[in-house]
């Protein structure tokens, strides 16, 4: 197995670059501003570099390689044409502070994407300034807070978050200076309306909801909930992490949501990049558009223009432009005639998996699910969900999300996107049946899994107890490795 760090390839005086010869004189740098610390960076050849990172890449697993049913992450196919277009020189070599006249193309892409997302969701306008889903949440909550403040309503200091929500929801609320009030779920993970009612008063700024929720269940009482909140003077925030389940089928604004974010890197096919760059586009209803963070992009008199209407700013410039371009490509490729099939096939796939596995895996919620299905571990209980996940690695799958949502102790959350064929799902289903059988016949195969990966189970307790966080730390503790 390839097991090097780039620092370990270094040999004095090797180079992997060529720069033009300078034609101007050398100016001295003031001595008191000069670095004295030694600088230990790798010195390698260009081929050393290419081989090193190619070899590192081979230790990863991507969507192009195989089925990646990671629940709540929407690991759909990332179309190649989108990458090609986003990397056009006249999108890439553009300074963010060029004149409006010289960036009309990019502004057009931003504007059109906002319009198309608005049409799909019922919102009025979107901003692409937030860089990721959690950043979109924070931005949306800032809009919520500013809305109340601008009306002189200073008492609204709390945000309601369901106990089944992603961790980012309460974390974003706290960051935005709100107190978090948790509302308990019904056994099926949906919001308990009676409990919600008991929390409502004039201190509630709003509620954050994910719909379908993190268990993949559509909130059947959403219209009642939005009426309750609006009658209370509160706003509703839609966490778009699960938008893929209803894309082109239903609109969050029609459900009563006032603010939402969309993870373009989930629903709109842009790649996750091993943890970013993404885009947490935020959309709002008409009444809130002037609170969208600066700068906004408008279309007036046949020209795209920047405008600032809000006291809020969340990014140095306009977010991750190449992610917006890829999302624009994706929407145009699908077109209005295909877009609702995203949700339909995603939901069909999830329900197919659900019905196919319920004889071996505990299915706590039997209703129709949306884009993802949550099991609560093996019926036989001969091995844990972690063991099942690790055993899936041996069969060449990326495991589903495990131990989330927290409502079930052995949660195994499977999200097969619309891109996966019946053949792929059948193979995966057979594999999970086989693992269930192995758990009964020879549980040690699961308990010791994975067997075929380059590394065996990793000691993460040690990592936290003796943090080795840089190459320097490693050199100082080399005897322990």
Partner 1 sequence: MFKYFPHTLEDEKEMLKKVNLKELDDLFSDVDPSVKIKDPNELNLPLSHSEIELRRKAKKIANKNKELICFAGGGSYDCYTPSVINTLTSRQEFLTSYTPYQAEISQGTLAYIFEYQSLICELTGMDVSNASNYDGATAAMETMLMCINQTRKNNIIIANDFSPSVKDVVKTLANMHGINLIEADINNIDEYLNNDLAGLLLANPNYYGEIKDYTSLISKVHTSSKALVSMYVDPSTLSLLKTPREMGADIACGEAQTLGIPMSFGGPYLGFISTLSKYVRKLPGRIVGMTKDKEGKRAFVLTLQAREQHIRREKANSNICSNQSLMALHATIYASLLGKQGLKEVAKTAYNNMRYLTEKLEETKKFKLLNKNPFFKEALFETSFDVSKFLSYMESKDILAGIKVDDNKILVCATEMRTLEEMNEYVKLVEAYDVR
Site for partner 1 in 59-118 (CB under 8 A): 59-65, 68, 70, 73, 75, 77-79, 81, 83-85, 87-99, 101-106, 108-109, 115-116, 118
Site string for partner 1, 276-295 (x = CB under 8 A): xxx--------------xx-
Site string for partner 1, 174-213 (x = CB under 8 A): xxxx--x---------------------------------
Using the structure block, give the residue that is written with the tokens 């949440």.
137
Cβ–Cβ contacts within 10 Å for residue 381, how many? Answer: 10
CB of 16 to partner 1, least distance (A): 4
Up-side HSE of residue 157: CA atoms within 13 Å toward CB? 4
Site string for partner 1, 416-455 (x = CB under 8 A): --xxxxx---------------------------x--xxx
Q: Which of 287, 409, 472, 476 binds partner 1 (CB under 8 A)?
A: 472
Q: Is residue 23 a contact residue for partner 1 (CB under 8 A)? A: yes
Instruction: Report the run of H or E that residue 108 belongs to, with start and end.
Output: helix 104-121
Burial of 30 (C-beta count, 10 Å sphere; 0-12/13-18/19+): exposed
Near partner 1 by CB under 8 A, which window of 196-204, 228-236, 332-340, 437-445? 332-340
CA distances from 121 to 126, 142, 323 (A): 10, 20, 19
SS3 85: helix
Q: Which of 154, 316, 441, 479 binds partner 1 (CB under 8 A)?
A: 316
Q: Which of 227, 409, 430, 463 binds partner 1 (CB under 8 A)?
A: 463
Q: Which of 318, 395, 408, 428 binds partner 1 (CB under 8 A)?
A: 318
Q: Is residue 135 a contact residue for partner 1 (CB under 8 A)? A: yes
Measure the CA–CA gap between 360 and 340, rounded to whole angstroms: 32
Q: Which of 199, 200, 298, 348 binds partner 1 (CB under 8 A)?
A: 348
Q: Is residue 322 a contact residue for partner 1 (CB under 8 A)? A: yes
Long-range contact set of residues 222-231: C-beta below 8 Å, sequence gap at least 24: 222/255, 222/256, 223/255, 223/256, 224/193, 225/191, 225/193, 225/196, 225/256, 226/255, 226/256, 226/257, 227/256, 228/193, 228/196, 228/197, 228/200, 229/200, 229/204, 229/256, 230/256
CB 124 within 8 A of CB 260: no
Q: Which of 5, 307, 381, 437 binds partner 1 (CB under 8 A)?
A: 5
Q: Which of 150, 203, 338, 430 binds partner 1 (CB under 8 A)?
A: 338
Q: Is residue 307 a contact residue for partner 1 (CB under 8 A)? A: no
Q: Which of 150, 311, 381, 440 binds partner 1 (CB under 8 A)?
A: 311
CB 252 within 8 A of CB 211: yes
Using the structure block, give the residue that is written with the tokens 């432009």.
321
Q: Which of 288, 291, 329, 414 binds partner 1 (CB under 8 A)?
A: 329
CB of 354 to partner 1, least distance (A): 8
Q: Is residue 3 a contact residue for partner 1 (CB under 8 A)? A: yes
Q: Given the complex with partner 1, which of 381 and 422 has the nearer CB atom?
A: 422
Q: Given the complex with partner 1, which of 187 and 275 has the nearer CB atom?
A: 275
Q: Which of 150, 366, 430, 470 binds partner 1 (CB under 8 A)?
A: 470
Nearest CA to 282 among 76, 146, 123? 123
Near partner 1 by CB under 8 A, which window of 196-204, 323-331, 408-416, 433-441? 323-331
Residues 220-279 contacting partner 1, CB under 8 A: 220, 222-223, 246, 248-251, 254-255, 265, 271-278
Size of the site for partner 1 (CB under 8 A): 200
Q: Which of 150, 184, 456, 476 binds partner 1 (CB under 8 A)?
A: 456
Measure the CA–CA gap between 68 and 133, rounded to whole angstroms: 20
Q: Mention every residue, 6+ apart, whose C-beta is less than 8 A from residue 177.
A: 145, 157
Q: Given the complex with partner 1, which of 345 and 382 has the nearer CB atom?
A: 345
Q: Given the complex with partner 1, which of 162 and 377 has the nearer CB atom?
A: 162
Residues 384-423 contacting partner 1, CB under 8 A: 389-390, 393, 398-399, 404, 418-422
CB 168 within 8 A of CB 150: no
Which two structure tokens, joined as six digits, stand for 306? Answer: 């920047």
Residues 25-44 contacting partner 1, CB under 8 A: 25-27, 29-30, 32-37, 39-44
Measure the CA–CA gap between 118 and 201, rounded to whole angstroms: 31
What are the DSSP E strand ranges found in 346-391? 373-376
Nearest CA to 386 among 373, 374, 403, 372? 403
Near partner 1 by CB under 8 A, which window of 24-32, 200-208, 358-366, 438-446? 24-32
Q: Given the complex with partner 1, which of 52 and 441 has the nearer CB atom?
A: 52
> Where do the H-state alpha helices sit in 158-209?
168-175, 193-199
């Amino acid at each position: 197995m390839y097991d090097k760090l780039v620092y370990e390839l270094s040999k004095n005086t090797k180079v992997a670059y060529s720069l033009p010869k300078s034609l101007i004189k050398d100016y001295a740098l003031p001595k008191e501003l000069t670095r004295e610390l030694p600088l230990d960076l790798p010195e390698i050849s260009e081929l050393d570099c290419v081989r090193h990172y190619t070899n590192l890449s081979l230790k990863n697993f991507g969507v192009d390689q195989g089925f990646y049913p990671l629940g709540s992450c929407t690991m759909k196919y990332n179309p190649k044409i989108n990458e090609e277009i986003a990397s056009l020189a006249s999108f890439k070599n553009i300074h963010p502070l060029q004149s409006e006249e010289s960036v009309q193309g990019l502004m057009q892409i931003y504007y059109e994407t906002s319009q198309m997302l608005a049409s799909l969701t019922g919102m009025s306008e979107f901003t692409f300034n937030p860089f990721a889903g959690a950043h979109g949440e924070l931005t949306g909550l800032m809009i919520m807070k500013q809305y109340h403040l601008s009306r002189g309503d200073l008492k609204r200091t709390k945000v309601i978050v369901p106990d089944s929500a992603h961790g980012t929801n309460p974390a974003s609320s706290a960051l935005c200076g709100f107190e978090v009030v948790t509302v308990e779920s019904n056994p099926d993970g949906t919001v308990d309306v009676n409990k919600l009612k008991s929390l409502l008063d004039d201190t509630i700024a709003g509620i954050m909801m994910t719909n379908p929720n993190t268990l993949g269940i559509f909130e059947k009482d959403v219209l009642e909930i939005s009426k309750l909140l609006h009658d209370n003077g509160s706003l509703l925030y839609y966490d778009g992490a699960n938008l893929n389940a209803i894309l082109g089928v239903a609109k969050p604004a029609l459900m009563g949501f006032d603010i939402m974010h969309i993870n373009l890197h989930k629903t709109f096919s842009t790649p996750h990049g091993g943890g970013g760059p993404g885009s947490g586009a935020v959309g709002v209803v008409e009444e809130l558009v002037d609170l969208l963070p600066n700068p906004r992009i408008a279309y007036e008199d046949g020209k795209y223009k920047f405008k600032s209407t809000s006291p809020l700013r969340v990014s140095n410039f306009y977010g991750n432009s190449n992610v917006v371009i890829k999302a624009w490509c994706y929407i145009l490729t699908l077109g209005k005639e295909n877009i609702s099939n995203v949700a339909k096939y995603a939901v069909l796939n999830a329900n197919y998996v659900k019905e196919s596995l319920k004889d071996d895996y505990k299915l706590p919620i039997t209703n129709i699910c949306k884009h993802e299905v949550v099991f609560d571990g093996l019926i036989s209980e001969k091995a844990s969900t972690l063991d099942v996940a690790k055993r899936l690695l041996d069969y060449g799958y990326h495991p589903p999300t495990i131990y989330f949502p927290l409502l079930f102790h052995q949660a195994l959350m499977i999200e097969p996107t619309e891109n996966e064929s019946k053949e792929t799902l059948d193979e995966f289903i057979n594999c999970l049946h086989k693992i269930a059988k192995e758990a009964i016949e020879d549980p040690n195969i699961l308990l010791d899994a994975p067997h075929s990966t380059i590394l065996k189970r990793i000691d993460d307790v040690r990592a936290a107890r003796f943090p080795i966080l840089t190459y320097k730390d490693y050199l100082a503790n080399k005897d322990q490795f």
